[in-house]
A and B are shown apart, each in its own frame.
Chain A
Amino acid sequence: MPEQKHGEIDAHSGTPTTGHEWDGIKELNTPLPRWWLNTFYACIVWAIGYWLVYPAWPLLNGYTHGLANWSSRVAIGEDLNELKALRGDMNESIATASLAKIENSPELLAFARAQGSAAFALHCSTCHGAGGQGSKGYPNLNADRWIWGGTLEAIQTTITHGVRWDADPETHASAMPAFGRDSLLSKSEIANVADYVRTWSGNAPPQSADLAEGQRLFGQNCATCHGEDGKGNVELGAPNLTTQVWLYGPSKAAIIDRIQNGGGGVMPAWSGRLDPTTIKALTIYVHTLGGGK
């Protein structure tokens, strides 16, 4: 300990004072414990080492890179590569196996579902909902009605090229005409078609309905795509109108709205954004949600 300049000793505690005094209160010179000081010095040494080894100082343009030349970006890249290596074998199997084979192998299925579920949460859940339950205008992927087909291959195609996604030449195109907006059908005609269409899914038509007229109009305007019996056509993305699953709701008003305005939903093409293995995993995941054909 350095020699005490103000060698006054506090009578009560026997400790030297620092010589500082405020309003009669003197400050005791109680040194910090040795181990504490040593820890403190060790921290300083550590900090200096840290400055040197790691990026520490911001510069006008850039920063000091440190001796280790470490950066969090590179570290993440390494982590990702490690992850890829870890998943390597399984990914390889997913990439090479056929969709049907993946689904029939418990191991591959579990892996693909896990990977697909993560990718779904990230990319698809915004529109289709966390569990693929969909909402108005966004198909419920748990149900078994498929506009563009529910086989493994059809689902893969849809995810890869999207729906009405102009940037992809192979995208699912075709849209329903706006029969009302473009004055192809009158209001009462549309109402009759709606009443007629709804009978397929077991909805009793109102008294006023003219089902024969509805049937005639459907045959003339709608049957080309949806088929005479309303069973739809997955080639054209024309929904099956005879089921209990309605993309825009089962009410008469909702159906009138569709006939009135036509059109159809849009889904991005995921090729280019997701690698083929991820798309495969997504396909398996969606197919096993419950609606797969």
Chain B
Amino acid sequence: MTTVQLQTQDDSPDLPLYVSAPKVYPQRVHGVYRRIKWALLIVTLGIYYLLPFVRWNRGPNEPSQAVLVDLAHRKFYFFFIEIWPQEVYYLTGLLILAAMTLFLMNALAGRVWCGYLCPQTIWTDLFLATERLIEGDRRERMLKDAGPWTLARVREKTLKHFTWLMIAWWTGGAWVNYFADAPTLVHDLATFQAPVVSYVWIGILTFTTYVLAGFMREQVCLYMCPWPRIQAALTDEYALNVMYRLDRGEPRTSFKKSLALRAKGEHPGDCIDCSQCVAVCPTGVDIRQGANLGCIQCGLCIDACDSIMEKIGRPPRLIAYDTDVNVARRVAGKANIFKPIRSRTVLYGTIIALVGAVMLLALANRTNLSVSAMHDRNPMFVKTADGSIRNALTLHIVNRKPMARRFAIEAAGFDPAHVEAVGATKGADGWPVVEVGPDQIRELRMLVTVPGATHPPPKQDLAFTVVDVASGEKAMTTDNFIAP
């Protein structure tokens, strides 16, 4: 691959070993990518702030909030899905899906998650917009920050921090709504009746939002976030990245010089060294120095440069989403190629499809009833007075329906007379019958007895079927009958 050597200051010997990070003053910009970012910001924040207030009717005894993390009852509600603590593997599935989607995004377009969807980016964007509204754009802010403190400035800064704190507080407040019935909680919060822990969390999240989006901003993306490190190791030369097309831009010259050169029939680069791309960059990157870990692929420099190109009458997209391969190919005089389908995108896509399919299948097939058995280990079996062998087990019967149900417990291979459940009555056909409350788990101690004279084998299959007496719905679990 051809690389063009660029003069950077990095190996200049007289710089101190440590410089503190310069403050970044991103400039306002208009364009396609900025509009996409505004749209995504509105949609994501809208979802975040409003989702807890969406209602979902689940019938009596059930919360009517569409998305709810019910810590007290250890349940998670997501629209029509209700996840019980025994089903945390859905969470594992979701995490795999999230990771794979991130990988796939990275294989297609590098750090694009960072630029458009990462909460850090979105809140920083919002904070920046507020700052711009109150204190003015880049140049103005730089001048004010360099200048003396005036009363007007104090007023401005106070207003800015107050607005920031309001947004941060609103953010923290929205978060706790996911953990309790939102309208009730909002009312309780306002009347100071909400649990202390909710105030604490609002405090913590207000603080972190304020600090992370107000002060640390790009530092989070550069120094704290692990994703750039991981994505750098995962990306390849076919991934789209925001790139300065140096094959077109170099050699850069000032606008006047380039006009003069063009008049003479020469071909200067399109870049007029106006530094607009650097001024708008929220992470303070100079994209013209080549691919950079600090670049979050937000595309704002594209918008900035496009507006310059329009003004100087050159074609747009001197900076564009492009690939290393294509830059090299153009330098070598070859045509662009695009390869979105590569082994890694196929792999990630396949994993996403598989995990998604498995989860959907599991969701579609989940029942409102489940049962599991736990055999007593200590002792594994008991010899009773008449010489019979008895095993004790604990059944956990989970009734996921919002009403109480009665279940008969049938054990395969055993005479009903020999299967007993502590605290259960016997049904018409001799099997124990128990009632399990709405949305409850009942622990049931089972005693299974086999006459010693029949000489049961040391280990024998044992199956329990729990049958809903009213509807006939069944669930089964297996275990072993252990004998000496």
- Return the chain A residue nearest B446 by Cβ: A290
A270 vs B392: C-alpha distance when bound (angstroms): 27
Q: Does A142 contact B (CB under 8 A)?
A: yes
The minimal Cβ–Cβ distance linking B127 to chain A, given in whole angstroms, is 21
Residues in chain B near residue A14, CB distance under 8 A: 14, 16
| C-alpha spacing A206/B445, complex, angstroms | 42
Q: How far is the CA of A122 from the CA of B300 in the complex (A)?
A: 67
Taking a contact as CB atoms under 8 Å apart, the answer to whether B386 and A130 are in contact is no
The interface residues of chain B lying within 8 Å CB-to-CB of A133 are: 378-379, 382
Q: How far is the CA of A244 from the CA of B377 in the complex (A)?
A: 21
> Cβ of A143 < 8 Å from any Cβ of B?
yes
Q: Which of A106, A131, A143, A145 contacts B376 (CB 8 A)?
A: A131
Contact for A15 among B17, B379, B386, B434, CB less than 8 A: B17
Interchain CB contact under 8 A, B392 and A244: no
| Complex CA distance for A258 and B435, rounded to whole angstroms | 47
Hey, which chain A residues are within 8 Å of B422, CB to CB? 103, 109, 288, 290
Q: Given A15-B16, A142-B392, A290-B390, does the pair A244, B383 have CB atoms closer than 8 Å? A: yes
A69 CB within 8 Å of chain B = no
Please state if A243 and B385 are interface contacts (CB–CB under 8 Å).
yes
Query: Which B residues are in CB contact (< 8 Å) with A30?
Result: 18
Q: Does B452 contact A (CB under 8 A)?
A: yes
In the assembled complex, A80 has its CB within 8 A of some CB on chain B: no
Question: Which residues in B have their C-beta under 8 angstroms from that of A140?
Answer: 379, 382
Query: B440 — nearest CB in chain A belongs to which residue?
Result: A106
Let me know if A129 is at the binding interface, CB within 8 A. yes
> Does B427 lie at the interface of the complex (its beta carbon under 8 Å from any beta carbon of A)?
no
The reply to whether B385 and A143 contact each other, CB–CB distance below 8 Å, is: yes
Partner of B423, one of A13, A144, A201, A288: A288
Contact B452 A244 (CB under 8 A): yes
Q: Please tell me if A91 contacts chain B, counting CB pairs below 8 Å.
A: no
> Please, what's the 1-or-0 string for A73-103, where 1 marks a CB less than 8 Å from any CB in chain B?
0000000000000000000000000000001
The answer to whether A244 and B386 have CB atoms under 8 Å apart is yes
Neighbouring A residues of B251 by C-beta, 8 Å: none
Q: Which bucket holds chain A's interface residue count? A: 20 to 34
Cβ-neighbour of B385 out of A103, A109, A110, A144 (below 8 A): A144
State in angstroms the CA–CA spacing of A104 and B425 once bound together.
9
Instruction: Across the interface, name the chain A residue whose C-beta is closest to B382.
Output: A142
Query: Are B423 and A244 in touch, CB under 8 angstroms?
Result: no
Docked CA distance A103–B443 (Å): 13
Q: Give the interface residue-count category, chain B.
A: 20 to 34
Q: Provide the bound-state CA to CA distance between A243 and B385, in Å.
A: 5
Cross-interface CB contact of A290 among B435, B442, B447, cutoff 8 Å: B447
The 8 A CB mask of B17-57 against A (1 = contact, 0 = none) is 11000000000000000000000000000000000000000
Q: How far is the CB of B100 from chain A (nearest CB, A)?
A: 37
CB pair A245 B385 closer than 8 Å:
yes
Contacts of B289 in A (CB 8 A): none
Taken residue by residue from 129 to 140, chain A's Cβ proximity to chain B (1 for < 8 Å, 0 otherwise) reads as 111010000001
B residues less than 8 Å from A201 (CB atoms): 387
Q: Which residues of B contact A110 (CB under 8 A)?
A: 442-443
Distance to closest chain B CB from A39 (angstroms): 15
Q: B384 at the A/B interface (Cβ < 8 Å)? A: yes
**Of B18, B387, B435, which one neighbours A244 at CB under 8 angstroms?**
B387
In the complex, chain B residues whose CB is within 8 Å of the CB of A129: 378-379
Closest to A110 in B: B443
Q: Does A240 touch B at the CB level, under 8 Å? A: yes
Q: How far is the CB of A255 from chain B (nearest CB, A)?
A: 17
Chain A residues with CB under 8 Å of B435's CB are: 106
- Name the one of A106, A143, A240, A288 contacting B382, with C-beta atoms under 8 angstroms: A143
Residues of A within 8 A of B445 (CB): 113, 288, 290
Instruction: Answer whether residue A2 sits at the interface, using C-beta atoms and an 8 A cutoff.
Output: no
Which residue of B17, B383, B434, B443 is within 8 Å of A143 (Cβ)? B383
Centre residue among B16, B17, B379 by max chain A CB count within 10 A:
B379
Q: Which residues of B contact A (CB under 8 A)?
A: 14, 16-18, 376-379, 382-387, 390, 392, 422-423, 434-435, 442-443, 445, 447, 452
Q: Which 10 pairs show the lowest CB-CB distances between chains A and B?
A: A131-B378, A243-B385, A133-B379, A244-B387, A142-B382, A145-B385, A288-B422, A144-B384, A109-B423, A130-B378
Known contacts A13-B16, A244-B383, A291-B382; can you find 8 more A-B pairs with CB under 8 A?
A: A14-B14, A103-B423, A104-B423, A106-B423, A106-B434, A133-B382, A290-B445, A291-B384
